[in-house]
Structure 1
């Protein structure tokens, strides 16, 4: 095995997480940070060895940013499900709404969000509370 491959194998556990598509806002931010670092390290120059990595990371960032936008005027439940998908959240993560039973009822359309819940979700996601009412 040549030295280059040996080095790649040793460092792969540290590199691999940076080369995967983002599924959460945190992963997206990490990709942007990695892209910025690669560009600063010379990847902005097309003749630099890091240019291909910059292109790849740029594609991953663009993929996240091109996700389907939330439909204008969508019903509150659809808005909540959309945001949950975008942030990679599960029912258990929605502590702003209340207990698991309450969250389940909301997500199954058996219960509407109240003003307190809508405000808490709006703060969490950085959107207007009106979107949940």
Structure 2
């Protein structure tokens, strides 16, 4: 890759991209809602394929959402596993009540920290509990 970037050429391209996608630091709750919807659409497009080109945008949009949430909806620090444990308790669920994640054994391994959640599981948990995908990442 060329180390020299032609900024004069880059800026009009960036402005077109930004105005088309609205991908930028999140300004308010309405922009947050649009970015969350965009994240969901990108995840749908990638369909669990970690090498899909949409995953690079997932990282960027996810970071923007995470920054906004940290500033506007601060939560105590918790891992995705801790969030899952909390939600299970709040909803009175057992490990076997999460078939969308996998078998009871798979859920047990995730809760024990022996296995990470994958994109499909994160999406399923987000939809099941009505929380942001970032909750489990």
The two structures have a TM-score, normalised by structure 2, of 0.44
Q: Which has the larger radius of gyration?
A: 1
Normalised by the size of structure 1, how large is the TM-score?
Answer: 0.45
